[in-house]
Amino acid sequence: MQTEILDLKQNYERDGFLSGVKIVEAATASSHRKTMENAEPKIGPLHYKTKVHTILQSPLELATLPRVLDIVEGLIGPDILIYNVTYIVKEANTPSHVSWHQDLTYWGLSHDDQVSMWLALSPANLESGCMRMIPGSQVSGRQDHAISEDKSNVLFQGQTVRDVDENKAVTCSLEPGEASFHHGWTLHASSPNNSNDRRIGLNVQYIAAHVQQTKYDIDSAMLVRGQDQYKNFLPDIPAESDLDPEALARQKELEARHLAIAGTA
C-alpha cells in the first residue's frame, strides 16, 4: 500500500490528477447510488447540494473510507478536513456540460493544500461526459476566468478559461467504484451526457487543517483524520441518520453560506 501511495503521489505532483483509482467494488457503488436516488423523491434533486455528508450517511461513509483517506494523506498530509461533499449529476441525453475551469478560483481558500475526489457511482466515459484534464496545468497557478452566460454550463457562474489547447487533454473514464483525484488548479472540463443513463459522481473536497477561508467571516469543515490545531473552521456535524429534520435545516444554512462564498470573485 505504501508503495502504491508513493507512486500515486509522484504521478499527482507531475500531472495534477490521478484517474482510474479503484476505491470500492461496482456492486458497492451501485448500492450507494440506490441510496442516493431513494433520497431524491424525499428532498428533491441532489445535484450540487452542499455538504450532503451532513444529511446522508452514504456519502459520509464513502468520503471517509480508510483507503480514500490514505490516498488523500499521501497528497496533502496527515491532518485532513472535508470542506464539502456533493453529488454531481448529469441527466441522460441532456446538453449540460462543464467548461474548462479551476476549482480553487472562487473558494477563497488561503492555500492550495487541497484535493478533490470524484467517485463514479455510474459509468463515466466519453459518451456520458466524463472529465477531461490538462496534465501539468496545476503548476501555473490561477488562470483568468471569464463569466459565461451559457445556460447549459452547470458551473455556478459559468466560469470559463478561454483558449485551452484541447489536444493536450486526457480523458478520465471511470467505471462505477473508481475515482479520480485532482488538484484545485488543474484545468478540467466535461462534455454533455449523450448516454441513456444518468452520470452520477460523488465529489469530495479535502483540505489540509492549516487552510483558512479568506472571503467570508465564517466557514465550516469536518476533521476526518489527524488533528486540527488551527480551528479555522466551524465543525460540520456528520450525518448520524438519513434526512434528520434538524440536519436538513442546518444544511440549508450551510448551502446559503457556501453559495455566498462561491458567488463572489
Pairing of strands 220-225, 234-235: parallel
Using the predicted structure, report yes or no on whether residue 157 has a pLDDT greater than 60.
no
- Size of the chain, expressed as the number of residues it contains: 265
Select the more confidently predicted residue: 160 or 210. 210
Write phi, then psi, for 189 (nearest 5 degrees). Answer: -155, 170
Percent of the chain with pLDDT over 90: 74
227 to each of 79, 81, 114, 230, how far by Cα in Å?
A: 5, 9, 16, 9
C-alpha cell at position 175: 467505471
Among 33, 35, 53, 44, residue whose Cα is nearest residue 254: 53
Report d(CA 142, CA 125) in Å as an integer. Answer: 27
d(CA 132, CA 39): 29
Q: Please compute the mean of the pLDDT values over residues 238-249 and round it to a whole number.
A: 98
Cα separation, 126 vs 84, in Å, equals 26
User: Taking the C-alpha atoms of 218, 219, 225 and 227 in order, what is their torsion angle to the nearest 10 degrees?
Assistant: -10
pLDDT tens, residue by residue, 27-86: 999 999 999 999 999 999 999 999 999 999 999 999 999 999 999 999 999 999 999 999
| Residue 102: per-residue pLDDT | 86
What local confidence, expressed as pLDDT, does residue 142 receive? 72
- Give tens-digit pLDDT for 179-234: 999 999 999 888 899 999 999 999 999 999 999 999 999 999 999 999 999 999 99
Q: What's the rounded mean pLDDT across residues 114-138? A: 94
Residue 158 has pLDDT above 80, yes or no: no
Q: In the predicted model, is pLDDT for residue 161 greater than 90?
A: no
Please report, for residues 41, 139, 145, 170, the alpha-carbon distance to residue 21 in angstroms, rounded to integers and kept in the order given: 31, 22, 29, 15
Q: Is a pLDDT exceeding 80 seen at residue 109? A: yes
- Kind and range of the H or E element at 87? strand 80-90
Mean of the per-residue pLDDT values for the chain?
A: 91
Q: What is the mean pLDDT of residues 90-110?
A: 86
CB neighbours of 219 closer than 8 A, spacing ≥ 6? 108, 213, 233, 234, 257, 261
- One of 3.40.50.720, 2.60.120.620, 2.40.50.140, 3.40.50.450 is the CATH number of 2-262, namely 2.60.120.620
The predicted pLDDT at position 261 comes to: 86
Residues facing residue 115 across a β-bridge:
183, 206
Report residue 265's pLDDT band, with 50, 70 and 90 as the boundaries. very low
Q: Where are the alpha helices (DSSP H) in the chain?
A: 2-15, 26-43, 57-63, 66-76, 245-262
pLDDT-derived band at 105 (thresholds 50, 70, 90) equals confident
| Residue in this structure with the C-alpha cell 441532456, named with its chain if needed | 94
Burial 217-229 (b: 16+ CB within 10 A, else e): eebbbbbbbeebe
